[in-house]
A = this chain, B = another copy of it.
Amino acid sequence: MFPDQLSSLIKAKSSFLCVGLDTDVRRIPEHLHSAPDPIFAFNKAIIDATLPFAVAYKPNLAFYEAAGPKGWESLKKTLDYLPKDVFTIADAKRGDIGNTAKMYAKTFFETYSFDSVTVSPYMGKDAVTPFLEQEGKWAFVLGLTSNAGAADFQYHCDGKEMLYERVLRMGQTWDNEYPGDVGFVVGATKTNKMAEIRTQAPNSFFLVPGIGAQGGDLHAVCQHGVNSGGGLLINSSRGIIYASQGANFAHAAGEAAAALQQEMAPYT
């Protein structure tokens, strides 16, 4: 998917919502455990219930890996089930030397048909560009993350710029080489920085985790993060998919997604 298509989708649905499919087999409702593929059955019901309100879906790879080989089958079925007109993100945070990064890109973009992958910048440009080589396939590069440990290294400052600012700056030069293929992960818990980060990367899409369980402020994110193309994908995982752990889980997920979409709508 290209950035202008994602911008249109945001306008059409009046939503920045990305639903995080952090599907933990230990937390899905009892009655689904007898399904042939409980993880997929859960994801399918969540997708059906949230699709009117969401523009993107983000499976967290850790949860599928943890289920063993069958977890990857559940992931494949989930990707195949998602309509082609929503945006998809493999939350994998990969980052490795060129020939290895190529293999990861091949997996996520070809075997699983994701639109994008989250990527760690620690190893530099040659660890990221293999994810940028196909038009319409993106990397979301970790910028300033939502967790407490973000401060350990991301604020490391050379007097002119902090590490995360250097990542934003260099990431945009990569985007110049591969137009429209680089976005950034910017945590919702860093709302005091959101306005500044938007001025540092005015045209980029930000994937914003950290509202809900991690405590980020949705309105501040929208207010300070939006740009003319929308520019935001705001993720909620646990707050939506585990809104209820009973038989009504899908209905509750739909309601939680609708409530977030309504809060976002005025900013889209």
Which A positions have Cβ atoms within 8 angstroms of B? 22, 24, 60, 62-63, 65-66, 68-70, 72-73, 76, 91, 93-98, 100-101, 103-104, 106-107, 111, 120-128, 142, 145-154, 156-159, 163, 166-167, 170, 214
Contact = CB atoms under 8 A, between A and B. Distances in A.
B122 A153 contact: yes
A208 to B, nearest CB: 14
A39 to B, nearest CB: 13
A121 B122 CA distance: 8
Highest count of chain B CB atoms <10 Å: which of A72, A153, A156, A163: A153
B107 A147 contact: no
A167 B149 contact: no
Contacts of A128: 149
A213 to B, nearest CB: 9
A156 B163 contact: yes
A149 B124 contact: yes
A36 to B, nearest CB: 15
B97 A145 contact: yes
A163 B104 CA distance: 26
